[in-house]
Amino acid sequence: MDLPVPTTIDDLDPDWLTEALRGSELAGDAAVTEFECEQIGIGLGVLALLYRLTLVYEPAGAGPETLVVKIGSTHPPTREVVAGYRFYEREVAFYRDVADRVSLTTPVCAHAAFNPAGGDFVIVMEDVGGLRSVSQLDGCSLEDARAVLGHLARHHAGWWLNDDLLTIDTLQTTAEPPYPEFNRQQAMQGWPRCQEILGDRMPPQVHDLGSAFSEVGPALLVEAADRPWTFNHGDLRLDNLFFDDEGGMTVLDWQIGFRTYGANDLGYFLSQSLRIDDRREHEEGLVRGYHDALLAGGVEDYPFDELWEDYRRAILFCFNYPMTAAGQLDISDERSLALVTSMMDRSVAAITDLDAIELRPG
């Protein structure tokens, strides 16, 4: 039975959930008889909507007490960004075809579907809310940061110049159409609103970068194709990570995955998920730890100086994230605005500290 892809959470009913869970490792052949629903993650992510379902089964207790359902945003400008980058389609493809091939732990997925006609998607997955989470606004501890980068380096090393990655058609390079041209359009559309909201938080040289990002961003995406590539998560930030007591880490939000240089994930995580003072104090040591783990994972011919320049280049491109969020996404709730403001402040500080503008193309 082909299940319809919901456009809103009101489209779900017990019969739909029963079919979505049928045969999965989460609930097997149990029937959902009733459920309650609450929206979660408000202000944590801005590309989609998340709901926690509390379920009743027949037979009783035959499945997990709670599940998480992820569906498309109802904010038109957000949907425009999502469609341009194929984010929903790519996350569905990840859970269907790729999740069991990565070393990073991901939530167990019972059902994932994308409707190309309307652009809607749905993912029904394990609820990992019982694991430890840390607010991105508070910032990552040094201990957690080291753990994150250890897991990340092992993941990157496993896919480093690995031809198997070429068989995953939803993991294109950042240089392939439509990404550079869409990034250009996105910067042109989003920069005016970003200036209005966050312009006073940028020194002149960063403001000039933003004004030119419709050229700088696409050029950086094309340049990235010449760097040693691996499997990038693309949105590796603290709000998307959950930790257990044994040093394990579960990673959510796989819609932005690309085949590009590993420093893209590294730079995004360190510049967006650490407090500015912590990044400044521990940055080089953390990057060296990531590099050591890459080498231990079998990566060759990639000296630290080359990684450091790639890291600085990634820091420069990471300006794209808070600029896009402020310029085009739905940041109407207090937490989303605080998150995007923090992301911009941290991005500006990293770009300035590392003189990353020196690597501006052209």
pLDDT in tens, the chain (362 residues): 589 999 999 999 999 999 999 999 998 888 999 999 999 987 666 689 999 999 999 999 999 999 999 999 998 988 998 998 899 999 999 999 999 999 999 999 999 999 999 999 999 999 999 999 999 999 999 999 999 999 999 999 999 999 999 999 899 999 999 899 999 999 999 999 999 999 999 999 999 999 999 999 999 999 999 999 999 999 999 999 999 999 999 999 999 999 999 999 999 999 999 999 999 999 999 999 999 999 999 999 999 999 999 999 999 999 999 999 999 888 888 998 999 999 999 999 999 999 999 999 97
Rounded to whole angstroms, the Cα distance separating 60 from 40 reads 25
Number of neighbouring beta carbons within 10 Å of residue 204 = 7
Residues forming beta bridges with residue 124, ordered by sequence position: 69, 111
The set of residues, in sequence order, having a beta carbon less than 8 Å from that of 212 and lying 6+ positions away, is 360
- Give this prediction's pTM: 0.94
Domains (range + CATH), the chain:
9-126 (3.30.200.20), 142-359 (3.90.1200.10)
Q: Which residue has 């029937």 as its token pair?
A: 31
